[in-house]
């Protein structure tokens, strides 16, 4: 079982903790309080804290969703965005996990795989995918994590009216979220799954893992070419920033294909616009986000949060 690195320098705790708590003293706290729509109860000194950690974190929409849901449920709780650079996660983790009223942490890029060796335990999907997007405090004080991106993605597809079973799928991007999505698609019964990634060896490694776990799914690697596929998935960050290149070949879409993007902000990416113009059905990143957020909330002991 993976273990956290021990704290070897206690003097680093205070500035790390204050770096996390400082947003609560100013604009972030007022913003979070304002997002608790429909609830007049203020955030008190007994509030339970949750965090989302990412780099960049300014593009995430989790604070709006979670804090509005806390407000509707009448909970004295708040989720705050925490900007931690990719190489600083291990250092920040030692301080964050010692904040006693911090109950859970949501991970976004680029931390979903890097957090794994820092945890005391992993759920079955996290062990399979080698990535985590939600972490909770255990009764013994340790921290354990699970991965909901994949199941949330499949739930989002189904909510949009698209059943993946029997589809020929192409997935571009095999990082943290991509790994979870690939396993979830194979579990959901896609007939075939083609994987593509610009990082050497990443798609091949994931294909081997998915094929080993789900031998009835035909898994292959190759070019990011939509032709001949029923379902096309963008699991890369391309589309997050203005001017990003399309993650796969333009002009190769066909009417009736389903094109799904994991990017939530902007919700309409250039990829989805190009696919819609070609007559494809499109599914935005909101579908995956809302699917995984509800699963994450239940994992954190907040079943039913968000409706």
Q: Please state the domain extents for the chain.
A: 10-147, 150-285
- pLDDT in tens for each of the 307 residues of the chain? 444 444 444 455 445 555 555 554 444 454 455 544 444 457 899 999 999 999 999 889 999 999 999 999 999 999 999 999 999 999 999 999 999 999 999 999 999 999 999 999 999 999 999 999 999 999 999 999 999 999 999 999 999 999 999 999 999 999 989 999 999 999 999 999 999 999 999 999 999 999 999 999 999 998 899 999 999 999 999 998 888 999 988 779 999 999 999 998 899 999 999 999 999 999 999 999 999 999 999 999 998 887 6
Q: pTM of this prediction? A: 0.83
Residues 79, 134, 48: CA angle, nearest 5 degrees: 35
CA dist 196 → 93, 169, 236, 293 (Å): 32, 11, 10, 26
150-285 CATH pick, 3.40.50.300, 3.60.21.10, 3.40.50.720, 3.40.190.10: 3.40.50.720
The answer to whether the Cα torsion of 161, 231, 164, 115 is positive or negative is: negative
CB 134 within 8 A of CB 296: yes
Q: In whole angstroms, what is the distance from residue 208 CA to residue 27 CA?
A: 47
Residue 33 in 3-state DSSP? helix
Residue 241 in 3-state DSSP? coil
**Longest Cα separation, the chain:** 60
Same topology, domains 10-147 and 150-285? Answer is: yes
Catalytic positions, written as ranges:
112
Q: In whole angstroms, what is the distance from residue 44 CA to residue 76 CA?
A: 7
Q: In whole angstroms, what is the distance from residue 145 CA to residue 302 CA?
A: 15
10-147 CATH pick, 3.40.50.10860, 3.40.50.1860, 3.40.50.300, 3.40.640.10: 3.40.50.10860
Q: Give the DSSP letter of residue 109.
A: T
Give the position of tokens 């979830």: 184
Question: What number of other Cβ atoms are within 10 A of residue 219's Cβ?
Answer: 24
The burial of 253, by beta-carbon neighbours within 10 Å (0-12 exposed, 13-18 middle, 19 or more buried), is given as buried
């Amino acid at each position: 079982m993976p273990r956290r690195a021990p704290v070897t320098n206690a003097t680093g705790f205070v500035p790390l903790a204050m770096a996390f708590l400082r947003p609560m003293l100013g604009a972030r706290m007022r913003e979070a309080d304002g997002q608790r729509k429909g609830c007049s109860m203020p955030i008190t000194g007994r509030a339970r804290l949750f965090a989302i950690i990412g780099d960049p974190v300014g593009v995430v929409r989790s604070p709006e969703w979670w804090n509005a849901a806390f407000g509707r449920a009448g909970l004295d709780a708040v989720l705050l965005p925490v900007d931690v650079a990719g190489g600083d996660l291990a250092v920040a983790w030692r301080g964050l996990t010692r904040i006693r009223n911090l109950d859970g942490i949501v991970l976004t890029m680029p931390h979903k795989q890097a957090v794994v060796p820092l945890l005391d335990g992993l759920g079955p999907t996290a062990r399979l995918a080698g990535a985590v997007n939600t972490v909770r405090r255990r009764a013994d004080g340790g921290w354990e994590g699970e991965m909901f991106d994949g199941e949330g993605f499949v739930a989002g597809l189904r909510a949009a009216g698209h059943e993946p079973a029997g589809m020929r799928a192409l997935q571009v991007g095999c990082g943290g979220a991509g790994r979870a999505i690939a396993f979830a698609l194979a579990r959901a019964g896609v007939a075939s799954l083609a994987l593509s990634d610009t990082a050497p060896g990443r798609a091949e490694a994931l294909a081997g893992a998915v094929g080993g776990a789900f031998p009835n799914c035909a898994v292959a690697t190759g070019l990011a070419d939509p032709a001949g596929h029923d379902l096309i998935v963008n699991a890369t960050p391309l589309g997050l920033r203005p001017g990003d290149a399309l993650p796969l070949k333009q002009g190769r879409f066909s009417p009736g294909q389903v094109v799904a993007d994991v990017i939530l902000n902007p919700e309409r990416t250039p990829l989805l616009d190009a696919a819609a113009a070609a007559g494809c059905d499109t599914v935005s990143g909101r579908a995956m986000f809302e699917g995984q957020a509800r699963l994450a909330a239940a994992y954190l002991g907040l079943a039913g949060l968000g409706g």
